[in-house]
Amino acid sequence: MFEADVKFNGGRQTTSKSFMVQENLPLFRADETITGVVKVVPPPNCTVWHYGITLKLESCFVFFESMQSTDILIENDTITVAESQAISGPIDYPFEFNLAKCKLLDTYDGEIMDIRHSLIATINRPWYTFNVVRSFVSSLFIINLIR
């Protein structure tokens, strides 16, 4: 089984206090380009084939009601990080994600609603097995600056 992780370039972070959890999140302006790497590690001593790696930016609006919550997902953009290939050892795939073209709202943690942004890395696998999906939920804290 593959292992996948996303590492961001840059050092800004913020603390988010969402429902019962406190998280340290990377901080990006909505007009920035995010850069980093998707690190993929195949099983030891194996050469494994994949059909490409994608990185998807997704926004989620969560409305809290009395006994339930309603989620609305919006896919903002998807980029291809790597084309099909066989890998036999750990490899880093660099990426650039332009947030300006996504028209993102600020991240918001409230009592009746949340607005969250997630990066989802997907390693596409052959038809006879399953895709490897790693979701970095709440991994972005977007801020819009009024100039």
H and E: helices and strands count for the chain: 0, 12
CA 8, distance to chain mean position in Å, is 10
The string of DSSP letters for 32-63 reads -EEEEEEEEEPPTT--EEES-EEEEEEEEEEE
∠ CA 18-120-58, nearest 5°, is: 65
- The pLDDT of residue 65 is 76
Checking if the pLDDT of 56 tops 80, the result is: yes
The pTM score is 0.75
CATH class of 3-59+75-104+118-143: mainly beta
Structure tokens that stand for 43 in this block: 């099983």
133, 120 contact by CB (below 8 A): yes
Q: Supply the mean pLDDT for the chain.
A: 78
∠ CA 55-60-61, nearest 5°, is: 165
* DSSP-assigned beta bridge partners for residue 62: 71, 114
Checking if the pLDDT of 12 tops 80, the result is: no
Q: For the beta carbon of residue 93, count every other beta carbon within 10 angstroms.
A: 19
Q: What is the pLDDT of residues 104-140, one digit of tens each?
A: 777 777 778 888 888 888 888 877 776 677 665 444 6
